[in-house]
Chains A and B, each alone.
Chain A
Amino acid sequence: DAGVIQSPRHEVTEMGQEVTLRCKPISGHDYLFWYRQTMMRGLELLIYFNNNVPIDDSGMPEDRFSAKMPNASFSTLKIQPSEPRDSAVYFCASNHGGDSPLHFGNGTRLTVT
């Protein structure tokens, strides 16, 4: 079991640039979640998918954020254009529903200057 894999681990970009974060969930997990962690707001649920379909994106901050899951083994979170206030650690997590816990990736630390 390779776990949830996120890339890149660190991303530093300038304001206005497009940022794409990537996630590979655990094989067989049919739920995928994107979270953002900051000191001020803690862990925020941005969006989650079930069987590749977005179920709830009410946590996505604004139109600059978009997420896709083209297949069961890959998801992206895109920020365009990026702003300094987007600086945070972005976690991807997956589970197979029911009583199963969330399995988290190691996160992507995004810094927007």
Chain B
Amino acid sequence: DIQMTQSPSSLSASVGDRVTITCRASQNINNYLAWYQQKPGKAPNILIYAASSLQSGVPSRFSGSGSGTDFTLTISSLQPEDFATYYCQQSYSARLVFGGGTKVEIK
């Protein structure tokens, strides 16, 4: 099975900061990669699919890049509502495995 590894597992940042989260796949998954945001006590919410396609309604400060095994989620200017946990998920294989998550906390 494909394994997904995120880094860092947590980070502290301030409002207005540029934040980058990395996700690495254990094998080539082309651009079959999605990113989700989860806030405490809530279900996850899709942000990006196909590595770089922004889901409708998601603010443009979120962007994704990468292909093959290495991917990045970038928040260009962190807002108070962005403090949450972020997960990547591969969709190359039928078993849609998630990464371990990155918690973005307030500095």
Are A and B bound to each other? no
